[in-house]
Structure formats: structure tokens, C-alpha cells
């Protein structure tokens, strides 16, 4: 009875906590896509996650109150609480005491990625629920010599792959468990027939993927890959558009021993973000100790850690960027959970010492996730982003999107999931997510031909419908000058309306400071775009202030560093060209503060100071630039020019010789070096006569 009360308390307590902190609407990343997929039975990005689509829709039907976004966030909270329930049952079946079991569950509940994925719409909470149930099935198989548990495991594994394919890395855990457990079976129990039955049950579960061609044939709003043919279905299931073993589209680093070491170091850093190292090491020690008492199950946990942790990380081979690290957190749930289950064994090492130890450890991570969770509870960032774009678009307009996910999926949910702005035509320029207007062969033609096809199709809308772009590329449509319009770029027309920034996005210009990468990457976009607008209007103080806010929010965000540096340089150069040297100086100094090793900014600041009639300050700036960048010739050449104006020929000769040492092909240094030598000779001759 006591066990049931504690079990109920674990479930209800965790569910209540997650429910209190859960997001109230669409959030960053793939959240909006999954909401749209479930609400409209559409196909999300490959492999389209049919189990999540089906179970999510069942949950929406069972809980018919509230927006789909709210209900699906609750669905994540519910499945995470079920995971904790199974984890508590696992700990108790391993003969752990009540306090040790509860403490271990609390540690897992508050690990960073487990916590975060309990609050938003994503497939990882359901994935964790399936993993914990599969582990419980394995452990309970130890109480019987029947193969029925293995048949159930095989079926649920195949079914679970319809939610997320990372479950394939549990197969080694099953093999490890069965290997050490084989003595429990009679020689007649295990054979070809049993293996075929396991394979049959696995395929039965895996058949959930047949839901994809059925739904695709109905032409739902999102129809990634159109898997109505065997080849397209195979392409979707194997994630061919990503490269199958890759987690995202993009250039992967070369596989080498050095890069393997870098990946493992990154894996270790991120593991520590999930839970402090001392706790993880104690858990690992517990797994090794547990091999003496329950070798099948603890060997399965060790295999789960290795294959879903370091091996999976190495196979993914993501670029060494902040964005890559930002998307990897959710894949740490399984390896961290495997390690922390080792604390059950540590808690049993000595009755009271183990209990006190685990209780103390529980207090450490309790505060780790709270700030991240609270930032989701009240965040309207992604919702505001999508709403602002829709408000920007005039009636019956067309929007082409270059990226990224927050634009795609917030708009998908707002239009298809909530029915907002059905008059607006939405298209992604990859031809994957929304209705593809580029032709059925678009995904398979060469890159250059794709570019030409895009230009041809998009220009056909000119003069027919208002044409807008979600992109930072002002030359997205060749030959057409695009004008800023809120977060978007537009083809200038009489329908182009000014966007009242403060009215439309005020609450998301000042969000609670987010800590997860995806939210930070979008949160920085709000002040960044507002800053660009203000600077374009000549409001330098206000614009630079918003740029600084973008930097503060988006520290480490890859897109921001590239684009902000470009914008600073462009704005400063425009001020310089128009003779506004004071404004140009301020922006160049701001760029140097943002990126001290920007050689062009350092050199151009010297030019601005020189044009402002401050040669001494210009000289000091050139000298600093020459020291910072010993292989760059331009600042030294500028010093030579300054000395030329002062007719200091020895310095001119010295500087020009240094220019040619740094850049032997410098277009002007060689010519002026000869002239400087002649003038130096004339000066010496005059002095000699005197």
C-alpha cells in the first residue's frame, strides 16, 4: 500500500510541477511543426514521426478543451511523468529503498534536457516514456523464463521507431541483456523460430509507418517527402534528405583522430550541463557495481549509455558550432538516464549512508532547470514572431521563406493549426514543407538549376500578388530590390505598409533571458531587426542600443555574429560614403567592441579618423591595427600615406618596404616606393648643398 501511495505521489507531483511550468503556446525549434502535424494529421520532417502524430491526435480527441498547442505541451508533461513512474518501478524492482528510489527519480526529473522536454511539444518526451517502459520490460523479464517479454520488447521497439529512430540504439542493450540472461532459457526455448517471432513482432510495430502514405495521399497541409510511392516512403524513413546518419543539413567536419577527440570533449561538456560530473561518475560506478548483482540489466544500461551517448555523438559528426551543441541536448536524455540509474546501486551500498548520499545529491540539480522552465512558462516569443509576420502581410499576398525553422513552423501552426490568415500563400524555398510550386522534380535537380527555377517561378508573381520574403538576403530575388518590412523583405508596391514595431512586438523585445540555444537564437532576432530599422532611419543611439541587446541575448548564436558584423560594416560604410564621419566612427567603434579582431573595421576606423582631420588619432589606430594583424598590409600602407603627407621620407620608405614584405603584390606600394626613394635622394642632395 505504501509503495502505491509513493508511486502515485511521484506521478502526480511531477505532473503537477511540469504542468505548472509548461509552455502556454508554440515554442522554438520543431514545436510548431509537430503541433501542426498532430492537429491536421500532416507529415512532419523526415522520418515524419507517425506514432507521435497518431498518439498526439488521440490525446487531442480525449482532451478536447483548449488550444492544440496547450494540450500538446501537456501531453509532453504527461508522458514525462509516466517515464518517472516507470523509473520508480525499476528502482523498486532492483530492491532499492523508497528514499533511494524517489531520490534517483528526482535526479532524472531535474536533469536539464529531461526537464526542458517535459514542458514543450517535442517527440523526445514520448521517446523517453517508451525507453523507460522498455527498460521495465527487460528488468521484469528476469522474473520469468518465458520469451513473451522479449516479444513485447520487440513489438514496442518497432512501434517506438515510429516516434524517434534513436531507439534503434537500444538494440545493443537487448542483445547484451539476452546474452547474460541466456542461461535462464532451456536449449529448446531459444532458436530460429523465436528469433523470427521477435523479428515479426518488431515489423508489426514498425508498420506504423504505413500511416504515412495513407495520410500523404490525402494531401495534408504539411506533406514532407510525399511518401505515396515505395521509393518516396523509403526516402522518408531513411531520412535521405538529411543524409540518413546526419542530424541536420550542413557540412560535416572531416572524420579524423583530432576531430574525434574534439567531439568527445564536446560530449563531455554537454554531459556536465545535464548533471554535475560528481553525480554522473557516482552513477557510472554504480552501474559497474551492479554487474555483480544483476549482470543482464546493468550490462543493458551500460550498452544504452555507450551506444546512445558517445557512439551516437560521434556518428552524428555535427559541425563544431554553438548551433550544433544547442540541438544536441535532447539526445542526452537516454545516456544521462542510464548513468543516473546506477545511483540505485550506490544507494544500496550501505542502508543509511546510501540514502543520505542520494538525498543530498538530489538537492544539487533541483535549481538547475528552474530558470529555463520559467522562461518557457510565460514566453510568447515564437507566437509573437509568427503573428508579426502574418500582420505584416497584406491580403492575398505570397510569402517565400528561406528559413529557419521558427519561421516555417510558427506560421504553419498559426495558419493550419489555428486557422489564421488562410488568404496568405506560404511557400518554403526548399520545396519540402509547404506546397511545392517549383515542380515535382525540384528536389532532384542540380543546385544551379534550382536557383534558376526559383527565380523563374517567383518572378511570375510580380504584379499579380504582393510578394514577400522571410530571409536576411536582400538579393533573394535577382534583379529586384527588396525593401525591409518588419521581420520580412518585400517587393516595393503600393501595398507596402510601415510596421509599428513597439506595438507589435514589445513584449518579445524584452523577453525573460532564455538559456537554451534555440530560444536565444530567435530572441536575439527581435532587437536585431528593430536595431536595423532604427539605424536605417538615422537613429544611431537607439539602433546601437538594440544591437547591443541582441548581442546580450544571443551570445554564441552563429547567425547573429555573421549578420551583425556585416550590418555594422555596411551601416558604417554608408555613413562614411555620405560624409557623416562622426556617425561612421561610432558604428566602427561599436563593431570593434563586438568583434575586436575584425581587421577591416580596425583599419577603416583609422581612415574615418583621418578624414575627420585627426591625423594623430588616425596614426595611433593604424599602428594598433598593424600590430594586431601582422600579415595585413593596408594599415601599414595607410601609415606610409600619412608620412608622405608629412614628407617624412625615411618613415615612408620603411612603411612601404614593410607593406611589400607583407604583400609582395600590393598594387601601389612598389610604385610609390620608387618615388619615395627619389624624393629621399633629392632631400639628401639639398641638405648636402646646404
Nearest to 135 by CA among 284, 337, 362, 287: 337
Distances (CA, A) of 309 to 153, 301, 357, 388: 21, 11, 26, 39
Higher pLDDT, 60 or 641: 60
> What are the residues whose beta carbons fall under 8 Å from the beta carbon of 242, sequence distance 6 or more?
46, 248, 249
- What pLDDT sits at residue 278? 85
The pLDDT tens digits for 269-325 are 889 888 888 889 989 999 998 888 888 888 999 999 999 999 988 888 888 777 777
CB of 197 closer than 8 Å to CB of 11: no
Q: Of 21, 19, 28, 123, nearest to 63 (Cα)?
A: 19
pLDDT band at 687 (very low <50, low <70, confident <90, very high): low
pLDDT digits over 204-245, tens only?
Answer: 999 999 999 999 999 999 998 889 999 889 989 988 776 555
Residue-level pLDDT at 356: 73
SS3 category, 473: coil
Asked if 501 contacts 546 with a C-beta cutoff of 8 angstroms, the reply is no
> Does residue 690 carry a pLDDT above 60?
no
Give the closest residue to 198 by CA, choosing from 167, 238, 158, 169.
158
| pLDDT recorded at residue 689 | 47
Helix (H, G, I), strand (E, B) or coil at 393: coil
Alpha-carbon span 296 to 180, nearest angstrom? 5
Q: Quote the mean pLDDT of the chain.
A: 85
Q: Which of 586, 588, 589, 598 is nearest to 561 (CA)?
A: 598
Cβ atoms of 423 and 494 closer than 8 Å:
no
pLDDT at 541 over 80: yes
Look at residue 682 and tell me whether its pLDDT is greater than 50: yes
Q: Which residue has the higher pLDDT, 162 or 142?
A: 162
**Mean pLDDT confidence for 454-480:** 91
Extents of the domains making up the chain: 2-375, 381-502, 506-689
Work out the average pLDDT over 122-144.
88
CATH topology of domain 506-689: 1.25.40
Task: Please say whether the beta carbons of 455 and 473 come within 8 A.
Answer: no
Confidence of residue 127 (pLDDT cuts 50, 70, 90): very high
d(CA 83, CA 104): 13
Q: What is the pTM of this model?
A: 0.86
Cα 254-259-264 angle, rounded to 5 deg: 135
Question: How sure is the predictor about 509, in pLDDT bands with cuts at 50, 70 and 90?
Answer: low
User: How many angstroms from the chain centroid is the CA of residue 198?
Assistant: 37
List alpha helices for 247-328, DSSP H: 257-274, 277-290, 295-308, 310-316, 322-328
Amino acid at each position: 500500500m505504501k509503495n502505491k501511495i509513493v508511486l502515485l505521489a511521484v506521478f502526480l507531483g511531477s505532473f503537477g510541477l511540469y504542468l505548472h511550468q509548461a509552455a502556454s503556446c508554440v515554442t522554438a525549434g520543431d514545436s510548431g511543426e509537430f503541433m501542426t502535424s498532430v492537429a491536421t494529421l500532416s507529415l512532419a520532417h523526415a522520418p515524419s514521426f507517425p506514432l507521435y502524430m497518431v498518439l498526439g491526435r488521440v490525446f487531442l480527441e480525449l482532451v478536447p478543451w483548449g488550444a492544440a498547442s496547450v494540450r500538446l505541451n501537456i501531453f509532453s508533461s504527461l508522458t514525462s511523468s509516466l517515464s518517472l513512474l516507470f523509473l520508480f518501478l525499476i528502482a523498486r524492482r532492483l530492491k532499492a529503498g523508497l528514499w533511494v528510489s524517489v531520490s534517483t527519480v528526482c535526479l532524472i526529473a531535474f536533469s536539464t534536457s529531461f526537464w526542458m522536454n517535459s514542458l514543450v511539444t517535442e517527440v523526445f518526451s514520448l521517446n523517453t516514456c517508451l525507453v523507460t517502459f522498455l527498460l521495465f520490460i527487460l528488468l521484469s523479464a528476469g522474473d520469468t523464463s518465458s520469451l513473451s517479454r522479449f516479444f513485447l520488447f520487440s513489438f514496442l521497439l518497432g512501434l517506438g521507431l515510429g516516434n524517434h529512430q534513436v531507439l534503434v540504439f537500444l538494440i545493443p542493450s537487448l542483445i547484451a541483456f539476452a546474452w547474460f540472461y541466456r542461461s535462464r532459457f532451456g536449449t529448446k526455448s531459444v532458436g530460429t523460430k523465436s528469433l523470427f517471432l521477435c523479428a515479426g513482432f518488431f515489423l508489426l510495430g514498425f508498420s506504423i509507418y504505413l500511416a504515412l502514405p495513407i495520410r500523404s495521399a490525402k494531401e495534408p497541409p504539411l506533406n514532407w517527402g510525399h511518401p505515396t510511392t515505395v521509393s518516396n516512403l523509403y526516402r522518408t524513413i531513411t531520412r535521405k534528405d538529411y543524409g540518413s546518419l546526419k542530424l541536420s543539413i550542413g557540412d560535416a567536419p572531416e572524420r579524423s583522430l583530432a576531430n574525434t577527440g574534439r567531439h568527445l570533449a564536446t560530449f563531455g561538456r554537454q554531459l556536465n550541463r545535464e548533471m554535475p560530473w560528481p553525480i554522473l561518475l557516482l552513477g557510472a560506478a554504480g552501474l559497474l557495481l551492479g554487474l555483480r548483482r544483476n549482470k543482464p540489466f546493468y550490462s543493458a544500461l551500460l550498452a544504452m549509455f555507450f551506444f546512445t551517448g558517445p557512439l551516437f555523438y560521434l556518428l552524428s559528426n555535427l559541425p563544431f558550432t554553438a548551433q550544433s551543441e544547442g540541438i544536441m541536448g535532447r539526445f542526452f536524455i537516454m545516456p544521462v538516464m542510464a548513468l543516473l540509474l546506477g545511483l540505485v546501486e550506490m544507494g544500496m551500498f550501505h542502508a543509511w549512508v546510501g540514502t543520505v548520499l542520494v538525498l543530498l545529491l538530489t538537492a544539487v540539480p533541483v535549481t538547475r532547470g528552474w530558470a529555463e522552465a520559467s522562461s518557457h512558462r510565460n514566453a510568447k516569443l515564437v507566437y509573437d514572431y509568427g503573428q508579426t509576420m502574418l500582420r505584416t502581410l497584406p491580403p492575398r499576398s505570397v510569402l517565400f521563406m528561406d528559413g529557419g525553422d521558427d519561421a516555417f513552423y510558427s506560421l504553419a501552426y498559426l495558419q493550419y493549426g489555428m486557422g489564421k490568415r488562410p488568404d496568405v500563400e506560404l511557400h518554403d524555398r526548399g520545396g519540402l514543407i509547404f506546397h511545392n510550386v517549383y515542380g515535382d522534380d525540384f528536389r532532384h535537380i542540380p543546385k544551379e538549376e534550382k536557383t534558376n527555377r526559383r527565380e523563374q517561378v517567383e518572378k511570375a508573381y510580380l504584379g499579380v500578388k504582393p510578394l514577400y520574403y522571410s530571409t536576411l538576403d536582400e538579393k533573394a530575388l535577382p534583379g529586384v530590390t527588396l525593401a525591409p518590412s518588419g521581420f520580412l523583405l518585400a517587393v516595393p508596391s503600393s501595398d507596402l505598409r510601415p510596421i509599428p514595431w513597439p506595438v507589435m512586438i514589445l513584449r518579445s523585445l524584452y523577453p525573460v533571458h532564455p538559456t537554451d540555444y534555440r530560444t536565444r537564437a530567435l530572441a536575439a532576432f527581435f532587437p536585431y531587426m528593430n536595431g536595423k530599422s532604427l539605424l536605417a532611419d538615422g537613429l544611431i543611439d537607439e539602433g546601437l542600443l538594440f544591437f547591443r541587446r541582441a548581442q546580450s541575448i544571443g551570445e554564441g548564436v552563429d547567425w547573429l555574429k555573421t549578420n551583425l558584423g556585416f550590418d555594422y560594416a555596411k551601416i558604417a560604410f554608408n555613413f562614411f560614403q555620405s560624409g557623416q564621419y562622426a556617425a561612421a566612427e561610432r558604428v566602427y567603434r561599436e563593431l570593434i567592441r563586438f568583434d575586436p579582431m575584425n581587421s577591416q573595421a580596425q583599419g577603416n576606423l583609422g581612415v574615418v579618423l583621418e578624414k575627420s582631420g585627426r591625423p594623430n588619432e588616425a596614426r595611433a589606430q593604424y599602428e594598433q591595427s598593424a600590430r594586431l594583424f601582422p600579415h595585413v598590409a593596408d594599415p601599414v600602407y595607410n601609415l606610409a600615406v600619412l608620412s608622405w603627407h608629412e614628407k617624412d621620407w625615411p618613415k615612408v620608405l620603411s612603411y612601404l618596404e614593410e607593406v611589400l614584405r607583407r604583400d609582395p603584390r600590393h598594387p601601389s606600394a612598389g610604385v610609390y616606393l620608387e618615388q619615395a626613394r627619389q624624393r629621399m635622394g633629392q632631400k639628401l642632395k639639398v641638405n648636402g648643398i646646404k
